Structure 1
Amino acid sequence: MTLTACASEVTGTPAAGANTEAAATTTTEPAASGPPDQQIAQRGECVAGNDPAPVDCAKPHTVEITVAGTFGGAMPDEPPSRDAVFEAVFPTCRAEAAKYLGDERYDMTTLAAWLLWAGTDDWREGARWYRCGVARLGPDGRAVSHTGSMKDALAGNGSNKFRLCTKEPPSQPLPAPVACDQPHRSEAVAVIPMGDPRQPLPADEKFDRTARAECGDALRRYLGAARDDVTVAWHRPDKLNWRHGFNNLTCYAETKQPVTATLRGIGTAPLPS
């Protein structure tokens, strides 16, 4: 199963993280015309919707900023393509999201790295800012509004609170995330690093060989027992997402019928129907 990511085509909406195998790429339009650079949110501040100006993180917001950066001279005078922007800075956004959230395995949660940058008009006037951030994804792959900081949200056992469960099996296109206490067919159980985005994408055979060995072990640890009624599945990145920093396998527990509670530590008990 190939991992790609949800896409947003809404101008000014910051970008989404990865959770589907649809023929899409992790991308977004740049932000709408915004305030001067000094009025754009800095690290630890929050933004709401497509407005890059800071808002109080204690109030409803969609993205919490992890990196306040400026593009270097390698970028063109004309507004660059979305893929060029993501290839340039999204691996950094991904790495910083792991540090900020407190767990590099955040791809097995509904929390994701995010990116917004100077819009077309601002770019042509010389603006070169970008902002990495973290967001919580809703069922449609867009950032959902919430209150409070996500700093170290995944430290300790925090991943259990935000664990990614999906209504459809992970082998299906666009599996919709749902709360793990709602009927679902899969639960993300592990993330396995596979390399560096500056290196070539490994062959499918390497991904699958690693997944068959390590995802299977991860599933047994997650369940607390070996079971015939829960199978292992995994997502791997395509070439484009690999260059954007999605450099791991995500392993899933998959069931034939929906379950209504998490399978973590279930052992040999009956599945929650």
Structure 2
Amino acid sequence: MAERSDNRNHRRSSRNTRLVMIAAALGGALVLLISALLNTPSGGGGSGWGGPGRQGAAPATPPVFEAEAGTCLHWIEPDAADIRQVKCTERHLFEVTGKADLRADFAGTAPYPSAEQWQQLKQERCTAVSEQYLRGRFDPEGRFSVGAFTPSQRGWGSGDRTLHCGLQQPGPSGELFASKGDVAHQDQSNTYDVGRCLGINGTEVWDPVDCARPHAVEVTGIIDLSTEFPAEYPSEDDQDDFLATRCGELTAEYAGSPTAVEDKKLVAYWDTLTEESWDAGSREVNCKASAQLPDGSGLAPVTGSVKGDVTVGEEPAPQNSAPVQPGVPAAGER
């Protein structure tokens, strides 16, 4: 019974850590969603559009202007000058889900929307477009987020009122990670491969890094909750009760011994799924190893894999003050 009580106490404290991760991820996604609306690929001919980092800089390229729902787009250059249509089975950064017509809401003389207005429009229109495209099975807390190519200021002045909506896979920094396959045929669970380390920015979880570099968490396992809960959605408490034991086992196995995690001043914790994610078809969660700062204010920087030598920092990691560049392809893999 004592062991069970310890697990429950750890589960409750771990929930706070889990919320720190979720908040950090959502914060990065929010920056992306605001900026991606205003910073979109440029070049070519057609109606005016904005390019990454250059609001309303140039007209849209034919690959964007002509893209229909189900089309996948990819680019390598930071300014997306090389944007092109590709097969969705190939690496791509954006899957087009459809268009949203804004003409009923904005007359020809309407001023160009602000960043806040664009965010609201994207949330209202492109989320609905993407949910319809996925037949209601969009996980808003999954690995994919809604994005949009918007008219540039020049295009807006010429009467362009069309949002080209789509799905993309951003990291917390706002950079986009490539994916393969169409979203409709993927589990949208926001998981990472076992052995992946997620970077740290201050006390927030950041983009994946090599585990030899300071990081926030190391992924120690992936669990398919449908094996334990094959029928209806399990409550968060039921998920926690199961994962407290299972993630402890997987993390100890991954680390190489039952005491390795604790000996290295790390803790095992896990993600859970919301009912909305479950209804969208997501079933997988990650088990992870991390450390808290001595004062409990957030995640501590960890250097080295839990499988080997580990150093746990006692001060927050440096804050990355470099400008976020939403829409820029990430250098590494998710």
TM-score (norm 1): 0.54
For 1:158 and 1:51, the matched residues in 2 are separated by 31
For 1:107 and 1:182, the matched residues in 2 are separated by 29
Task: Report the equivalent of 2:59.
Answer: 33
Query: Which of 21, 34, 40 is the equivalent residue of 1:13?
Result: 40
In the TM superposition, 1:169-248 aligns within 5 A as: 172-173=203-204, 175-178=205-208, 184-186=215-217, 213=237, 216-217=240-241, 219-220=243-244, 223=247, 229-231=267-269
Higher strand share goes to which structure? 1
For residue 5 of structure 1, give the secondary structure of its aligned residue in structure 2: helix
Please state if 1:56 is matched with 2:86: yes
Q: Are the structure 2 counterparts of residues 39 and 93 from structure 1 closer, same or farther at C-alpha, using a change threshold of 3 Å?
A: closer
For 1:101 and 1:185, the matched residues in 2 are separated by 35
For 2:82 and 2:103, the matched residues in 1 are separated by 20
For 2:129 and 2:247, the matched residues in 1 are separated by 30
CA RMSD of aligned residues (A): 5.0
Q: Are the structure 2 counterparts of residues 127 and 154 from structure 1 closer, same or farther at C-alpha, using a change threshold of 3 Å?
A: same
- Report the structure number with the largest CA radius of gyration: 2
Task: Report the equivalent of 1:121.
Answer: 154
Please state if 1:255 is matched with 2:290: yes
Q: CA deviation at 1:181?
A: 8.1
Please state if 1:151 is matched with 2:177: no
Aligned residues: 211
Task: Report the equivalent of 1:107.
Answer: 141
Q: CA deviation at 1:66?
A: 1.1
Task: Report the equivalent of 2:323.
Answer: none
1:130-179 CA deviation, whole Å, 9 max, x = no partner? 11212233574222456x53333523x8765679962238x823x32217
Task: Report the equivalent of 1:245.
Answer: none
1:190-232 CA deviation, whole Å, 9 max, x = no partner? 9xxxxxxxxxxxxxxxxxxx98x57744743761659872246
For 1:122 and 1:168, the matched residues in 2 are separated by 39
Q: Unaligned stretches of 5+ in structure 2?
A: 1-19, 42-52, 224-234, 252-261, 273-284, 292-301, 309-334
Task: Report the equivalent of 2:232.
Answer: none
Task: Report the equivalent of 2:175.
Answer: 142
Aligned residue identity for 2:67: A
Q: Are the structure 2 counterparts of residues 118 and 135 from structure 1 closer, same or farther at C-alpha, using a change threshold of 3 Å?
A: same
Q: Are the structure 2 counterparts of residues 63 and 233 from structure 1 closer, same or farther at C-alpha, using a change threshold of 3 Å?
A: closer
Higher helix share goes to which structure? 2
Contact 2:71–2:85, Cα closer than 8 Å, also in 1: yes
For 1:226 and 1:53, the matched residues in 2 are separated by 42
Q: Are the structure 2 counterparts of residues 128 and 53 from structure 1 closer, same or farther at C-alpha, using a change threshold of 3 Å?
A: farther
1:73-125 CA deviation, whole Å, 9 max, x = no partner? 2236121112212212324534655664996446353x332222111100110
Q: CA deviation at 1:31?
A: 7.5
Aligned residue identity for 2:268: V
For 2:210 and 2:62, the matched residues in 1 are separated by 42
Contact 2:63–2:85, Cα closer than 8 Å, also in 1: no
For 2:86 and 2:286, the matched residues in 1 are separated by 36
Aligned residue identity for 1:47: L
For residue 131 of structure 1, give the secondary structure of its aligned residue in structure 2: strand
For 2:242 and 2:127, the matched residues in 1 are separated by 23
Q: CA deviation at 1:129?
A: 0.8
Contact 2:130–2:146, Cα closer than 8 Å, also in 1: yes
Please state if 1:79 is matched with 2:112: yes
TM-score (norm 2): 0.46
Q: CA deviation at 1:34?
A: 1.8
Q: CA deviation at 1:47?
A: 2.9
Q: CA deviation at 1:28?
A: 9.5
Contact 1:101–1:151, Cα closer than 8 Å, also in 2: no
For 1:91 and 1:218, the matched residues in 2 are separated by 36
1:232-263 CA deviation, whole Å, 9 max, x = no partner? 689xxxxxxxxxxxxxxx99845124675xxx
Please state if 1:47 is matched with 2:73: yes
Aligned residue identity for 2:99: A
Contact 1:101–1:150, Cα closer than 8 Å, also in 2: no
For 1:84 and 1:139, the matched residues in 2 are separated by 22
Task: Report the equivalent of 1:207.
Answer: none
Q: Are the structure 2 counterparts of residues 151 and 74 from structure 1 closer, same or farther at C-alpha, using a change threshold of 3 Å?
A: same
